[in-house]
Amino acid sequence: MSTLSQRDWARRLASTQLRRPREHRVTRDGLFQLAGPPGRGGLVIGLDQDRQPIPIRLFDGETNRVAVVGDPYVVRILVFRAVAMGARIRIVTARPDSWQSVSTALGSHRRLVSLVSPGTPPAAAGSLAHPVLTVLDAGSQRADSRRPAASGGTVLTVLPAVTDSAMMVLRTADLTLLQRCDHPQARRACAVLGLDPEVAPKLVYAPDDGMALVAAGEAVFLRLSPTQVERGLLSG
């Protein structure tokens, strides 16, 4: 499984007619053994049309900015996968109750997750050996891509929709994940991200677990394909 840089995978345009991936079955303990050391490989975002994993190096020692537009469900999955890589998670939110279930579901690994209020000073710097993922819950506050972040960590901003207040976040993101949205939002997203207008209908008719990964003005469509254990953690 090769790890793609943001520009490498962005060149791999995929069809929206994706086959439904096979169910992954793994024990709860196994979930935290899938990714291996954080310095190797990358965080698996989803599966391509050939059911092959698409991993991305989110933790490369630099400060990366990621935007996720849509249901926080996607972010919760990515948090589980980042924890499996040994990353520390810092969730900045004005509504901690809505994120408490994420920490609880992780059991003994909950020590890696902290919930802090907006305005809290940045966490300690991350590194390849000790990656840090800062989640900015923009659904509970005004989206602002200029918020301070830990040096060497990845900042993931959760946006409920492609609104005017989200534009600056999208313009400055190194990588954007878009879920299915309506026609106006799809057209707006294509415009701000420099995508071909033909991508808009694909966003409108994407499957429930479908996403577009966008970087450098190109998009790759894939399936999130949550595992049985991930579904269990979210529903439990």
- Structural domain boundaries of the chain? 6-235
Mean pLDDT over 180-191 rounds to: 95
Task: Say what the pLDDT of residue 236 is.
Answer: 55
pLDDT in tens, 52-99: 888 887 877 666 889 999 888 889 889 988 888 888 899 999 888 888
- What pTM does this model have? 0.78
Mean pLDDT of the chain: 76
Q: Who has greater pLDDT, 226 or 68?
A: 68
- What ranges make up the beta strands (E) of the chain? 43-47, 53-56, 64-69, 88-92, 113-116, 132-137, 154-159, 175-178, 210-215, 218-223
What's the CATH architecture for 6-235? 3-Layer(aba) Sandwich (3.40)
pLDDT in tens, 112-130: 888 999 888 877 666 777 7
Q: Who has greater pLDDT, 47 or 190?
A: 190
Mean pLDDT lowest among 74-88, 125-139, 154-168, 212-226: 125-139
Strand, helix or coil at 67?
strand
Strands 154-159 and 210-215: unpaired
Q: Who has greater pLDDT, 229 or 18?
A: 229
| Per-position b or e across 79-111, b if 16+ CB within 10 A of its CB | bbbbbbbbbbbbbbbeeeeebeebbebbeebee
Q: Quote the CA–CA distance of 53 and 42 in Å, as a whole number.
A: 10
Q: Answer yes or no: is pLDDT of 232 > 90.
A: no
Name the band, by pLDDT with cuts 50, 70 and 90, for residue 28: very low
Task: Say what the pLDDT of residue 48 is.
Answer: 83
Of the candidates 67, 63, 70, 54, the one whose C-alpha atom is nearest the C-alpha of residue 5 is 54
| Contact indicator for 99, 92 with CB cutoff of 8 Å | no
Task: Say what the pLDDT of residue 25 is.
Answer: 35
Burial class (CB in 10 A: 0-12, 13-18, 19+), 139: middle
